[in-house]
Structure 1
Amino acid sequence: MRKKYLHLTALRNLFSGLILVLLLTGCGATEKKEASSEDYDLDSPEKFNMPESLFEISGIALNKGRNDTVYAIQDEEGKLFRLAWEVSKQLNSKFSKKGDYEDVSILRNTVFILKSNGTLFSYPLSEAVFEDPEGVREQKGILPKGEYEGMYGDETSGELYIICKNCPGDDSKSSVTGYIINPTDSTKSARTFSIQVDEIKAFTGKVARGFRPSGIAKNPLTGEWYIISAVNKLMVVTDKRWKVKSALPLSGNQFIQPEGIAFDRTGSLYISNEGDDLFSGNILKFKKLSR
């Protein structure tokens, strides 16, 4: 009987040890990765307050990375706005009627504006200097039904990258889909990419309400993708293959409602914020840190 008792005791000890190992392993699996930004100090921006006409600024763009002119839209009027940095006077061209316009890109001398339902408006950049531009084109049905807020135009490939904010085919608590389209060749099928939310959770611990992107841009110096979310107050950085490298919280004191994102050719980062009851809309500029 004594030998049998010792045998059972040994089994119990082994079982307890296995449980402890599993618990420790599980804790390690859910431990958050350290999120940091080696390239930008998100606490020290240059701030450009918007005029009243851009209180609800949404998307922003720079032509070929030149920072002499900022192109912007707001999400109510069908107008493209043009501003010089720190000059509050704006000029605009009206491309359509009132609607929910979310982002703008300038691609190979053509302006592209994204409506929240996935409709695209485009016209020659040369027409943007006129109040009533000619050659405006409206493209419907090129994207699946859904809600879209982020778009980026790639000069090298001539393609637009458009990311879902809320699409029926996605479970935003699991992954978010993006579409790569050639806006000048409707015969080419759209390609897709996806952001895995579990990879974001590895840095944040959780993503309440699912990941809801509001802007996307590519860093011209690194090729990394920067994706911001006003809902989640996050900036997610991925590599060229969309693997998440970092997820940085955006302070509500600094980032009122981050909607638009762009880079200039030197690598400076620009993020636009809609205004609220206390603050005007603005664009924050973050210069690349020297190493």
Structure 2
Amino acid sequence: MKKSTIFIGLFIAVLIGIGVIGFAKVNKASAHITEGSDNYTISETWELPKELDEISGIVWIDHQTIACVQDETGMIYIYNLDERAITEEIPFAGNGDYEGIALHNNDLYVMQSDGLLYEVKNWNATNKIVTSHQTGFDSSHNMESLVYSIKDSALLTAPKDKDLEDDFKGLYKIALSSKNVDTNSPAYKIEMNAAALKPYRNKKRYKTFNPSEIAVHPTTHDIYVLEGKNPKLLIMDSNGVLKTVFKLDKINFPQPEGMTFSDQGDLYISNESANGPASIHLVEFNK
């Protein structure tokens, strides 16, 4: 056999080998980004306008209306799901890092990442009153979550990064009367060594789960906690006992940071813009 024929054969074999390895790597990468997609069903999606590319928090208002905030602008955007459009803009502050939004009666609350809480009283009236309150948290905690809990008669929030100890992330009550938090006494704890979090455990224990948002189911009062960094959804019962953790794929949830329930218990999750427009999904998780 000619040497040239041998070399050609070897060259072809090497090319085939490279192709097989490359195909396996592509399949592995594809499986990684789609992992978790069988945990839920998306029944409807809303692509959001450019103003909400950095959407960081959402809260159900009524009927088909959701209030939204985004990272950089001190503006509340009222978004109508039926019209698929922003119908009102409510300024409350200058530029900042705004991460969570909650509703109680006619008042809206917005959480800044350094723990500063904004209160917009009578948000839908002409005589809105905006005040700000120090909660006791600071920028080292990186606050991204906010929700009103009927059961607790208070707002709930959680540090995304560091808490008192690395072994847990606490959910803390913000009293509506004082707007203060007892940062030494969490109302609920997410234990970083919980069995349901074992697949996600990090060498730096506090990085095992990083809360980006909290929502409370209107009838069961189950507590839903979202992580956007490594997308997953953690569910606790009304007493704070961890029930389950769902991994979320990065195709439909590239950066989920907002979450809210409708009055009927429908779950909405928002994503910041990533390789496409920002979005809101209507999601149902497997029981």
Counterpart for residue 8 of structure 1:
none
**Post-superposition offset of 1:185:** 3.0
Counterpart for residue 176 of structure 1:
169
Counterpart for residue 162 of structure 1:
157
Given residue 221 of structure 1, which amino acid in structure 2 is its aligned partner? T
Given residue 180 of structure 1, which amino acid in structure 2 is its aligned partner? K
Task: Name the CA distance, whole Å, in 2 between partners of 1:51 and 1:195.
Answer: 35
**Post-superposition offset of 1:157:** 4.4
**For the structure 1 residues 253 and 108, does the alpha-carbon distance in structure 2 shift closer, same or farther, using more than 3 Å as the test?**
same
Counterpart for residue 74 of structure 1:
70
Q: Could you tell me which of 248, 253, 256 is aligned with 2:254?
A: 256
Point out where structure 2 has 5 or more consecutive residues left out of the alignment: 1-35
Counterpart for residue 12 of structure 1:
none
Task: Name the CA distance, whole Å, in 1 between partners of 2:229 and 2:70.
Answer: 17
Contact 1:107 1:154 in 2 (8 A): no
- Give the TM-score normalised by the residue count of structure 2: 0.77
Q: Could you tell me which of 128, 145, 150 is aligned with 2:145?
A: 150
**Post-superposition offset of 1:210:** 2.2
**For the structure 1 residues 280 and 204, does the alpha-carbon distance in structure 2 shift closer, same or farther, using more than 3 Å as the test?**
farther
**Post-superposition offset of 1:188:** 8.2
Given residue 153 of structure 1, which amino acid in structure 2 is its aligned partner? Y
Given residue 108 of structure 2, which amino acid in structure 1 is its aligned partner? V
Counterpart for residue 89 of structure 1:
85
Q: Could you tell me which of 116, 132, 141 is aligned with 1:138?
A: 132
Contact 1:92 1:129 in 2 (8 A): no
Counterpart for residue 24 of structure 1:
none
Counterpart for residue 113 of structure 1:
110
Task: Name the CA distance, whole Å, in 2 between partners of 1:94 and 1:236.
Answer: 32
Contact 1:267 1:288 in 2 (8 A): no
Counterpart for residue 33 of structure 1:
none
| Deviation by residue 1:54-84 (Cα, 9 ceiling, x = unmatched) | 0111100013xx3421000000000000011
Given residue 230 of structure 1, which amino acid in structure 2 is its aligned partner? G
Greater alpha carbon shift after TM alignment, 40-49 vs 98-107: 40-49
Q: Could you tell me which of 253, 265, 268 is aligned with 1:267?
A: 265
Contact 1:50 1:282 in 2 (8 A): yes
Task: Name the CA distance, whole Å, in 2 between partners of 1:221 and 1:246.
Answer: 18
Task: Name the CA distance, whole Å, in 1 between partners of 2:217 and 2:144.
Answer: 19
**For the structure 1 residues 186 and 48, does the alpha-carbon distance in structure 2 shift closer, same or farther, using more than 3 Å as the test?**
closer
Q: Give the root-mean-square deviation of aligned CA atoms.
A: 2.6
Greater alpha carbon shift after TM alignment, 176-185 vs 49-58: 176-185
Task: Name the CA distance, whole Å, in 2 between partners of 1:137 and 1:177.
Answer: 26
**Post-superposition offset of 1:88:** 3.5
**Post-superposition offset of 1:203:** 5.3
Contact 1:108 1:158 in 2 (8 A): no
Contact 2:136 2:180 in 1 (8 A): no
Given residue 144 of structure 2, which amino acid in structure 1 is its aligned partner? E
Contact 1:224 1:238 in 2 (8 A): yes
Counterpart for residue 31 of structure 2:
none
**Post-superposition offset of 1:107:** 1.0
Task: Name the CA distance, whole Å, in 1 between partners of 2:125 and 2:244.
Answer: 39
**Post-superposition offset of 1:140:** 1.5
Given residue 73 of structure 2, which amino acid in structure 1 is its aligned partner? E
- Give the TM-score normalised by the residue count of structure 1: 0.76
Q: Which runs of 4+ in 1 moved over 4 A?
A: 186-191
Task: Name the CA distance, whole Å, in 2 between partners of 1:187 and 1:179.
Answer: 10
**For the structure 1 residues 50 and 86, does the alpha-carbon distance in structure 2 shift closer, same or farther, using more than 3 Å as the test?**
farther
Q: Could you tell me which of 208, 211, 225 is aligned with 1:210?
A: 208
Counterpart for residue 11 of structure 2:
none
Given residue 143 of structure 1, which amino acid in structure 2 is its aligned partner? F
SS of 1:251 mapped into structure 2: coil
**Post-superposition offset of 1:137:** 0.4
Q: Could you tell me which of 42, 46, 61 is aligned with 2:44?
A: 46
Counterpart for residue 10 of structure 2:
none
Task: Name the CA distance, whole Å, in 2 between partners of 1:186 and 1:219.
Answer: 23
**For the structure 1 residues 251 and 83, does the alpha-carbon distance in structure 2 shift closer, same or farther, using more than 3 Å as the test?**
same
**Post-superposition offset of 1:149:** 0.6
SS of 2:42 mapped into structure 1: coil
SS of 1:195 mapped into structure 2: strand
| Deviation by residue 1:175-229 (Cα, 9 ceiling, x = unmatched) | 1122112122358856412111222x43552334321110111112222111010
Q: How many residues align?
A: 244
